[in-house]
């Protein structure tokens, strides 16, 4: 089975991959907080299923996600450009190009925030272990990964948005 | 549960992570082909279990691995420095910084080779789906991932090295 026969490229220029058209899956008021973020789904270009890799850009004032942790999925980021602040519920640290951070399942809650006046660009990796849930310590939100691979978001009391 | 309470850093400088002490798990004569390769296990620094992320350097003449494919695990590379040649059983292509390539399970066999006189540095991601096997179209080698997470290498007729 060749890559060409399945219409897959051997390699791509990451910055040339079109950005995701839907800025976020969050319901409002969280959706609007993600409008200074742009994601290019690199792994999907090659038909990867077990994990995703995005090239993500945060404009000044942008954030990677809400402060969150996953129950089963691991995450990893590697900074390519700019100086985002990694905010966690165990402290915060300014990152720089060449730095990386990893977030094991059920570990500290985390997100990246661009407090600078220059863009931040990073690679993010996350696996796709089924049955995952997202916990958001700072916001009235919970997420559950459905059997169809889509996230279902509710208030913390279980009511829908 | 905080990162500090488990002795895990919030973030690290990738290039400052000590390289893996064992250059390769391959038996000879393949082991010696991997001596121009250096891997820093970034994901392990943070206790990630579902996938690994390495910062890998190939000196001139080095190669990422033998030409191979996985049966169940996906792989991904993002080039940070230098110009490796991606060799697959569906063709080859020269890569450059900012380019990436992904290798879905049971896809094309692949490896990176540094045919230049300058170092190549890249990030590589691979998941840890159990029951994986490695197939090596160009070499008399087969690999099977044991229940203990270690690779068992044999000749293609099943005899041991």
What is the percent of chain B where pLDDT is above 70?
96
| Dist CA A36 CA A28 (whole Å) | 15
- A7/B contact by beta carbon, under 8 A: no
* Structural contact between residues A37 and A111, judged by C-beta atoms closer than 8 angstroms: no
Which residue in A11, A95, A123 is closest to B101 by CB distance?
Answer: A11
3-state secondary structure of A69: strand
Kindly state the average pLDDT of the residues A19-31.
Answer: 95
What pLDDT does residue B6 have?
64
What pLDDT does residue B2 have?
47
Residue that wins the pLDDT comparison between A9 and A1:
A9
Which residue in B86, B92, B102 is closest to A48 by CB distance?
Answer: B102
* Structural contact between residues A86 and A64, judged by C-beta atoms closer than 8 angstroms: no
- Report the mean per-residue pLDDT for chain B: 95
Nearest to A114 by CA among A67, A66, A159, A57: A57
3-state secondary structure of B150: coil
What pLDDT does residue B7 have?
78
Q: Is the pLDDT of residue B83 over 80?
A: yes
- Quick one: pLDDT band at residue A7, thresholds 50, 70, 90? confident
| Dist CA A136 CA A139 (whole Å) | 6
Strands (E), B89-135: 91-94, 99-103, 110-113, 120-127, 133-135
- A91/B contact by beta carbon, under 8 A: yes
Nearest to A62 by CA among A90, A92, A85: A85
Which of B 139-158 lie inside 8 A of A, CB atoms?
Answer: none
Q: Which residues contact B36 (CB under 8 A, 6 or more apart)?
A: B58, B59, B60, B61, B62, B63, B114
Nearest CA in chain B to A101: B11
Per CB-CB distance under 8 Å, the chain A contacts of B52 are none
Q: Is the pLDDT of residue A93 over 50?
A: yes
């Amino acid at each position: 089975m060749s890559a060409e026969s399945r219409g897959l490229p051997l390699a791509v220029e990451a910055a040339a991959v079109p950005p995701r058209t839907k800025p976020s899956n969050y319901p409002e008021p969280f959706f609007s907080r993600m409008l200074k973020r742009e994601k290019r789904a690199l792994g999907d270009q090659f038909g990867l299923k077990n994990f995703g890799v995005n090239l993500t850009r945060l404009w000044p004032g942008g954030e990677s996600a809400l402060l969150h942790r996953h129950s089963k999925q691991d995450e990893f980021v590697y900074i390519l450009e700019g100086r985002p602040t990694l905010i966690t519920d165990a402290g915060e640290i300014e990152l720089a190009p060449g730095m990386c951070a990893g977030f094991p399942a059920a570990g500290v809650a985390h997100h990246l925030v661009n407090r600078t006046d220059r863009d931040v660009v990073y690679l993010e990796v996350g696996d796709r272990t089924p049955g995952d849930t997202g916990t958001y310590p700072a916001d009235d939100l919970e997420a559950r990964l459905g059997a169809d691979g889509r996230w279902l978001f509710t208030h913390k009391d279980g009511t829908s948005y």
